[in-house]
């Protein structure tokens, strides 16, 4: 088994390779050579049996490392079954999260979703139309797949903070330290807070900075194995009732299908106003310590699970997204709520991490009970037992992300 935590094979639908027998799509030869130069296997998928070597040779293309047709898949399922990509992974001795699929139809899309494998829609195969309105990553030409792979799927996952708490079925992954500045345009930079705290729309080249950062967060979790198939996505609510971070929610509305997950914006609810911890932290830096209660008790008294999800979380993996974490009060309360509602595993993914490796684990004191579907108005910080946790700390992929953003800026400049 290849232990590398990057994409090692690209499965491509036949119609994205050849426009007709003996005729390759423009740019596909260069892309397949690009894959070969990086040691990434090219896998050809066809419905019917085919002499793949002869077909590729006639079009002047390299022979695929693996060719699979329906007859090669156990049970001979139609495209759409995850068994196609499970078979690819087994044959190449890879994990499913070391694959991506490049497809041309709804059925390729479903093949990826049902296997928990990232799907990329090949818009260059223009004889196929996205009539179903598939929510998926889409690219205009084969070289764009290479660009997507290079900047998001070929770098080993790196985290500013990570911690696995097997005893509590809880994982934390934070992408970056909070003080990183990224290039926006020649002579201009921005920081994470501009995007996620201040809600600014920042364009880097032709790309939204939020999308770049969030895609890196999700792709890192995918490669890391901490983006399980069929999980539930939710966002930890902001300090005001009825609100979540629109920067996070706006991206996850589409990205939920990246590995066949489900986004539930209303899963966690803020039912009463709470202090804005980011604002209170800023005030503390400027002057005297704030008197506002920013303890886990304030979270317990104001955040609950939406009662509509009673009985629906048992055995589920829930991924909670937040923009920043410091000591972990919000994500720890989310974990407490969700495990009390019988979720099997909780994973917290955040863009930023304050205070390096510092995290505090919170457990309800023995004898303390909660109803996770009601705000716990009786709780205070004293109802929790705390334990300091040291996780793995690092710089995260800030150097790679700076290079990615510089690449998008340069692409616009070269086109002018």
Note whether 101 and 16 are within 8 A (CB). Answer: no
pLDDT at 237 over 90: yes
The encoded tokens of residue 185 equal 């345009």
Confidence of residue 400 (pLDDT cuts 50, 70, 90): very high
Q: Class of 161-398 per CATH?
A: alpha beta
What does the pLDDT read at residue 241? Answer: 84
What does the pLDDT read at residue 226? Answer: 92
pLDDT in tens, 223-233: 999 988 889 99
Confidence of residue 3 (pLDDT cuts 50, 70, 90): confident
CA 90 to chain centre: 24
Q: In sequence order, which ranges of 228-328 are alpha helices (DSSP H)?
A: 246-255, 277-286, 296-302
Asked if the domains at 9-152 and 161-398 fall in one CATH topology, the answer is yes
Residue 285: phi, psi to the nearest 5? -70, -25
What does the pLDDT read at residue 134? Answer: 55
What does the pLDDT read at residue 286? Answer: 44
pLDDT in tens, 48-80: 999 999 999 999 999 999 999 999 999 999 999
CA atoms within 13 A on the CB side of 39: 5
Q: SS3 for 349?
A: strand
Q: Taking CA 279 as the corner, what is the angle to CA 273 and CA 280, rounded to the nearest 5 degrees?
A: 85
Fold classification of 9-152 (topology level): Rossmann fold (3.40.50)
Q: Tell me 81's DSSP state.
A: B
Confidence of residue 138 (pLDDT cuts 50, 70, 90): confident
Q: Domain extents for the chain? A: 9-152, 161-398
Instruction: Report how far residue 59's alpha carbon sits from residue 51's, in angstroms, rounded to the nearest whole number.
Output: 13
Mean pLDDT of 128-149: 80
pLDDT in tens, 279-317: 555 545 444 555 555 689 999 999 999 999 999 999 999
Q: What is the pTM of this model?
A: 0.93
């Amino acid at each position: 088994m290849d232990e590398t935590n990057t994409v090692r094979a690209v499965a491509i639908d036949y119609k994205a390779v050849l426009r007709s027998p003996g005729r390759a799509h423009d740019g596909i030869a260069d892309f397949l050579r690009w894959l070969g130069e990086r040691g990434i296997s090219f896998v050809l998928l066809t419905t019917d049996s085919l002499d793949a070597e002869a077909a590729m040779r006639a079009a002047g293309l390299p022979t695929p490392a693996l060719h699979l047709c329906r007859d090669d898949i156990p049970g001979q399922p139609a495209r759409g079954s995850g068994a196609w990509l499970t078979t690819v992974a087994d044959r190449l001795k890879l994990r499913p999260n070391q694959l991506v699929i490049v497809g041309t139809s709804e059925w390729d899309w479903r093949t990826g979703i049902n296997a928990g494998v990232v799907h990329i829609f090949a818009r260059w195969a223009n004889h196929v139309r996205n009539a179903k309105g598939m929510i998926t990553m889409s690219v205009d030409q084969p070289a764009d797949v290479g660009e997507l792979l290079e900047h998001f799927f070929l770098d080993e996952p790196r985290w500013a903070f990570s911690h696995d708490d097997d005893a509590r079925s809880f994982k934390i992954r934070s992408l970056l330290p909070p003080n990183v500045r990224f290039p926006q345009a020649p002579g201009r930079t921005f920081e994470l807070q501009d995007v996620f705290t201040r809600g600014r729309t920042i364009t880097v080249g032709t790309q939204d900075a939020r999308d770049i950062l969030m895609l890196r967060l999700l792709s890192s979790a995918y490669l890391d194995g901490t983006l399980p198939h069929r999980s539930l996505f939710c966002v930890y609510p902001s300090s005001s009732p009825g609100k979540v971070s629109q920067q996070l929610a706006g991206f996850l509305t589409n990205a939920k299908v990246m590995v066949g997950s489900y986004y539930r914006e209303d899963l966690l609810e803020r039912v009463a106003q709470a202090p804005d911890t980011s604002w209170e932290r800023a005030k503390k830096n400027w002057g005297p310590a704030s008197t506002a209660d920013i303890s886990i008790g304030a979270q317990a008294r104001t955040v609950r699970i939406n009662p509509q999800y009673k009985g629906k979380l048992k055995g589920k993996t829930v991924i909670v997204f937040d923009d920043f974490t410091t000591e972990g009060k919000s994500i720890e309360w989310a974990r407490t709520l969700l495990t009390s509602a019988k979720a099997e595993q909780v994973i917290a993914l955040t863009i930023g991490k304050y205070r390096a490796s510092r995290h505090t684990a919170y457990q309800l004191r023995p004898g303390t009970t909660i109803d996770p579907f009601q705000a716990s108005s009786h709780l205070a910080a004293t109802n929790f037992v705390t334990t300091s946790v040291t996780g793995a700390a690092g710089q995260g992929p800030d150097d790679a992300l700076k290079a990615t953003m510089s690449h998008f800026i340069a692409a616009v400049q070269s086109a002018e």
